[in-house]
Amino acid sequence: MRVVIAEDSVLLREGLIRLLADGGIETVAAAGDGPGLVDAVREHEPDLAVVDVRMPPSHTDEGLKAALAARSIRPGLPVLVLSQYVEERYATELIGRGAAAVGYLLKERVADVGEFLDAVRRVAAGGTVIDPEVVEQLLSRRRRGHPLDALTSRESEVLGLMAQGRSNNAVAARLNVTEGAVEKHISSIFGKLGLDPAPDDHRRVLAVLAYLGRV
């Protein structure tokens, strides 16, 4: 796997390069700002971009904007965004542009090397990884009367794990239930959210977007 990194902190940038290398992942370019990321993606055509949300000059959302620009250059480019704090708007904006092959993690997760490398590989493989703290905050501010309120506590738990990018098998292992039970919960979730089977719709992605407050 070939990765580009956009992170203005030299210390963290070098640390990410080392962690990825230890996991057998090659960093082909490392940039300290948004334009550098876009240039690196154009030149190296990487398999994944790891991007800090806040970068120079204003340290607001330059990284997110650069990630979206990079995806316009290389459609479908897997992007894993790192953030110092839970910033719901940035998470939902990133997911809302296309739920496949995107991730949003707090930087503190990097300290758990195994978890971080797992997130990198899942996003690169086309999955969606959302930090559990982001999911929890989005869940806590659901509006009254929202279809999600019809979900049971177990269904909400299953959907929350889906939003973290977990497969049915992984959800079953986390909840200590059978995969068949998870499939029944997901079927019920689809029904309560009004997500009927359709050839052009990915119901799992739509359910996650509903969970994140996008639909």
- 72 contacts 191 by C-beta, under 8 angstroms: no
Instruction: Share the mean pLDDT of the chain.
Output: 85
Q: What whole-number distance in Å separates Cα of residue 169 and Cα of residue 185?
A: 13
Tokens, residue 15: 């640390």
Confidence of residue 45 (pLDDT cuts 50, 70, 90): very high
User: DSSP 3-state assignment of 200?
Assistant: coil
Q: What whole-number distance in Å separates Cα of residue 186 and Cα of residue 84?
A: 32
Tokens, residue 150: 């019809």
Tokens, residue 191: 């029904």
- Calculate helix-pair angle for 132-140, 203-211, nearest 10 degrees: 70
Q: Where in the chain is the domain with CATH 1.10.10.10?
A: 142-211
Q: Report CA-CA distances (Å) from 14 to 19, 152, 208.
A: 9, 44, 33
Q: What average pLDDT does this structure show over 106-119?
A: 90
pLDDT given for residue 93 in this prediction? 67
Handedness of CA 74, 212, 159, 203 (dihedral sign): negative
Does the structure show a pLDDT above 90 at 202? no
Q: What average pLDDT does this structure show over 149-173?
A: 89
- 70 contacts 37 by C-beta, under 8 angstroms: yes
Least confident span in 3-7, 152-156, 204-208:
204-208
Segment (H or E) for 63: helix 62-73
Percent helix, percent strand, percent coil in the chain, to nearest 5: 55, 15, 30
Range 2-131: architecture per CATH: 3-Layer(aba) Sandwich (3.40)
Confidence of residue 40 (pLDDT cuts 50, 70, 90): very high
Q: Where in the chain is the domain with CATH 3.40.50.2300?
A: 2-131
In degrees to the nearest 10, what's the CA dihedral of 204, 153, 120, 39?
Answer: 60
Residue 84 main-chain phi, psi, to 5 deg: -70, -35
Fold of 142-211: Arc Repressor Mutant, subunit A (1.10.10)
Residue 31 main-chain phi, psi, to 5 deg: -120, 160
Burial of 39 (0-12, 13-18, 19+ CB in 10 A): middle
pTM (whole model) above 0.85: no
- The listed range with the strongest mean pLDDT (23-37, 53-67, 94-108) is 23-37
